[in-house]
């Protein structure tokens, strides 16, 4: 049943790589934006808040289209990055990682923000009187105490990235070995007569991956939670 063909393995490994890269790159931004939203009052905060959550409420195709016209080869940002840094997104797996990261971002920011809001600020004050500057306080007190929320956010983003379909296929198409993720591969197989068996295998694999991610994240979150509560 789980005898995946080389082409199917490619799709599975590609999905994992895209989701991992998307989560890893989104995480520093997720922590920064979560911190801004939790701790700072500034002009345009409501706008930023809305912007972060936009991918959650927009049709994914719209997000994919917006990515295409801004990060595509002829898009202003895409052209700039390609000319100056040699970074190309369009029709590459990096583009898939970008769209997956953006789609997962709102799910990542929310738990991080909530965790940061829940921290007892008086502990940070105490750390300050003990000689820790603001950055050290953040590193040694804020970040460890927010760790359960950060893990939850990363896992949600990873799961979203693993299953992303609409924005990715709109932005970087469906190229086997480059941008064809599990979801895209299943979609393709379903268009082909007799592709059902292969699609079924991939579906089963997708379920296994999702369950494994859940178990691993639950384990991490429990460990981090115990640490924070001091057990």
Q: Which residues bind another protein (CB under 8 A)?
A: 122-123, 125-133, 136, 140-141, 144-145, 227-231
Q: Pick the closer one to another protein by CB: 104 or 111.
A: 111
Residues in the chain: 231
Do 88 and 94 meet the contact criterion of CB atoms below 8 Å apart? yes
Q: How far is the CB of 115 from another protein (least distance, A)?
A: 13
> In the structure encoding, which two tokens stand for residue 36, read together?
């801004």
Q: What is the DSSP letter of 176?
A: T
Q: Which CB, 124 or 178, lies closer to another protein?
A: 124
Q: How far is CA 163 from CA 5, 183, 191, 193, 197, in A?
A: 20, 6, 19, 24, 20
Closest to another protein by CB, 52 or 221: 221
Tokens of 228: 């924070």
Smallest distance, another protein to C-beta of residue 231, A: 7
- Cβ 143 to another protein shortest distance, Å: 10
**Residue found under tokens 């993720």:** 181
CB of residue 206 to another protein, shortest distance in Å: 36
Tokens of 103: 């789609």
Q: Is 177 exposed, middle or buried (0-12, 13-18, 19+ CB in 10 A)?
A: exposed
CB of 148 to another protein, least distance (A): 11
Nearer to another protein, 73 or 134 (CB): 134
Q: Which is nearer to another protein, 46 or 231 (CB)?
A: 231
């Amino acid at each position: 049943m789980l005898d995946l063909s080389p082409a199917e393995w490619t799709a599975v490994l590609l999905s994992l790589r895209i989701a991992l890269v998307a989560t890893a790159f989104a995480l520093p931004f997720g922590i920064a934006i979560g911190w801004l939203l939790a701790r700072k009052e500034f002009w345009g905060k409501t706008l930023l808040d809305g912007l972060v959550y936009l991918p959650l409420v927009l049709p994914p195709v719209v997000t994919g289209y917006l990515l295409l016209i801004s990060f595509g080869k002829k898009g202003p940002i895409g052209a700039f990055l390609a000319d100056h840094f040699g970074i190309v997104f369009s029709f590459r797996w990096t583009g898939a990682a970008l769209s997956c990261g953006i789609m997962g971002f709102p799910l990542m920011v929310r738990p991080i923000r909530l965790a940061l809001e829940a921290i007892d600020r008086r502990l940070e004050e105490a750390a300050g009187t003990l000689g820790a500057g603001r950055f050290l306080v953040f590193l040694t007190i804020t970040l460890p105490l927010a760790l359960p929320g950060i893990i939850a956010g990363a896992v949600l983003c990873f799961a979203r990235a693993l299953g992303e379909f609409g924005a990715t296929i709109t932005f970087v198409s469906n190229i086997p070995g480059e941008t064809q993720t599990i979801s895209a591969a299943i979609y393709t197989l379903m268009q082909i007569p007799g592709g059902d068996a292969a699609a079924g295998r991939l579906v089963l694999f997708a379920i296994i991956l999702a369950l494994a991610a859940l178990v691993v994240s639950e384990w991490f979150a429990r460990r981090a939670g115990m640490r924070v509560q001091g057990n």
